[in-house]
Structure 1
Amino acid sequence: MISQLEMVSRLVMAAALGSVIGFERERLSWAAGLRTHMLVCVGSALVMIVSAFGFKDVLGTANVVLDPSRMAAQVVSGIGFLGAGSILLRGEVIRGLTTAASLWAVAAVGLAVGGGMYTASIAATIIILIILAGVKPLERRFIAVRQQRSIQMFVEKGSVSLDSVHGALGSGSVRVKQLIVQQSEDDSEVDHVQIALSRVTPAEFEAICQRLESMRGVREFRRLP
C-alpha cells in the first residue's frame, strides 16, 4: 500500500498534467477546456489508485479473487460519453473530434499517474501537447490546402439567387455550401449576401471571386478571412 502523501501527490500531479492539455483546449474556446481535462485526469488517476490499492484488505481473504485492472478498464470505455458530448455537427462539418480524442488521452495519462508511471505520464503529456499545439500549424500549411472560404456581397434587391450563383460559377468542382440572402434593415434596395464555399484552393477562390464580382447587381464585394 502506498503512503497517504504518495496518494495525494499522484492526484495533484494528475491535475497538473491535465491542466497543461486543458489549457490548450481552453485557449481555443472549446466546451471541454481546462477544468474538464483536469477533472478527467484526476478522476481517472483516483480510479487507478482505487483499482490498484483499494482492495488490499480483502485480497488475502479465502475464496476472494479480484482483478485489480477491472476498474481502470472501465475508464477507457466510460470516457466515451464525455467525448461524444464534445463532438458537434454543424451543417456538414463535424467539430470536436480532436477535443474528444484529447479527453480520452488525458484519461490515459491519469491512469498512468495513478499507477505510479510518472515518466510515461509526463512524456505522454508532452507528446499530446505537441500534437495539439505544434502539429496544427503544419497541418494548416501542408495538408489543409483545400478549405472553406467565405464571401460577402451587397447586391441589388432580388438580383442574386442560388441559381444565379451556380450559373456564374459553372458546373465545375466548386461547391456552394451555404448561401444566405438577407434584406437590409433600412428598407433600402440592397440585399446582404453571404456565400460559403467548400473544397476550394486559393487559386480557385480567386477565380470564383472574379466571377461573382462581375455578376449583375453586385455593388460591394468582400473576401472574408
Structure 2
Amino acid sequence: MDWDTLLAGSGSLAWLRLDLLIRLLLAALLGGLIGLEREISGKPAGLRTNILICVGAALLTDLSVGIGLLTPERPNADPARIAAQIVSGIGFLGAGTIIQARGSVVGLTTAATLWVVAAIGMAVGAAAYVEAIGTSVLVIVVLVLLRRVEAGLERRHEPVHLRIVVTASAGVLERVEAVLSHAGFAIDAVDVERSADGIVASFSLTGERPREHAVIPAILEIPGVRKVSRE
C-alpha cells in the first residue's frame, strides 16, 4: 500500500484529518496551560515555546504511528524512529535553557518542563488522551504548589549576616564561633576590623533563619561582647 492508493481509496480521509486536528488542538491546549504558568513565572521558555513543542511532538508521533500502519509489508519502516528523534531533539532544546553562573545551575526546571511537555505531546499524538491530560494536571500542580514550598524552604536557609562588636579580650571571638556552631550555623566567612568601639567582626553564616533570633541572646551573654546586629 502506498500514499496514492490510500488517497484514492480511503473514504474516511476526512475523519482522519478531523482526528488529527483534534489532537493538535488538544496538544496546543495542554502545552499552552503549562506554558502560561511558565510565562507568569517569567521563565524564558513560556507560552509559545511550550505550545510549539507539544504540537510538534503530537504531529511527529501521529506521523510515526501512521507510517507503521501504512507500510506493514515493509519491515524497514520502523514507526519508532521518528518518535525516538523527538526525545533526542528535546534534549538539545533543554540543554539550551540550562545556565551555569556563580557556582549555581539555573534552568533545570525549565529544561525538565520542556521534556515533559514533549512527552505530553507524544501521548496526545498516540491518542493516549487520559494519560496526557492527567500528566498535564500533575505538572501544573508541581510547578505551582511546590514552587511555594521551595520558596518557603529557601527563605529558611537564606544567608545570615551578623555584625558583632567585642572587646579586645582574648578568646571572645572563639567563644562566639563556638556558640554559632552549636546553634547549627556554618561559618562561611569572617571579617575582623578595629573601630573606636572595639573589635568589629562580621560573620557570614549559612543556617535556618529562625535560629538566628535564638542565637543572638546567647552571643550577648558571652563576656566581652558589646553589641550584636544583623546586616
TM-score band by shorter chain is: 0.5 to 0.7
Does 1:16 pair with 2:29? Answer: yes
Match of 2:200 in 1: none
Among 17, 21, 26, the alignment partner of 2:39 is 26
- Three-state SS of the structure 1 residue aligned to 2:119 is helix
Alignment of 1:27-176 (within 5 A): 27-54=40-67, 59=71, 65-141=76-152, 144=154, 147-149=157-159, 170=177, 172=181, 173-176=185-188
Structure 1 residue aligned with 2:209: 202
Identify if the C-alpha distance between structure 1 residues 167 and 8 changes in structure 2 by more than 3 Å, giving closer, same or farther: farther
Identity %: 34
8 Å contact 1:26–1:34 — kept in the other structure? yes
Match of 1:89, SS state, is strand
- Which of 16, 35, 56 does residue 3 from structure 1 map onto? 16
Residues 86 and 118 in structure 2, CA contact (< 8 A), matched pair in contact too: yes
Question: Larger C-alpha radius of gyration, 1 or 2?
Answer: 2
Specify the code of the residue in structure 2 equivalent to 1:30. K
- Tell me the matched-pair count: 188
From the superposition, tell whether residues 42 and 92 of structure 1 become closer, same or farther in structure 2 (CA, over 3 Å): same
Residues 22/152 of structure 1: CA separation in 2 closer, same or farther (3 Å cut): farther
- In 2, are the aligned partners of 1:148 and 1:196 still within 8 Å (CA)? no
Shift of 1:97: 1.1
Amino acid at match of 1:90: A
Say whether the 8 Å CA contact 2:188–2:204 is kept in structure 1: yes
Taking a change above 3 Å as real, the CA distance of residues 170 and 89 of structure 1, as seen in their structure-2 partners, is: farther
Normalising by structure 2, we get a TM-score of 0.66
Q: Is the Cα contact below 8 Å between 1:40 and 1:106 reproduced in 2?
A: yes
- AA at the equivalent of 1:116: A
Alpha-carbon contact 2:64-2:79 (below 8 Å) kept: yes
The one-letter amino acid paired with 1:25 is R
Structure 1 residue ranges without an equivalent (≥5): 154-165, 180-194
Query: Structure 1-normalised TM-score?
Result: 0.67
Give distance in 1, aligned partners of 2:82 and 2:34. Answer: 24
What is the one-letter code of the residue matched to 2:146?
Answer: V
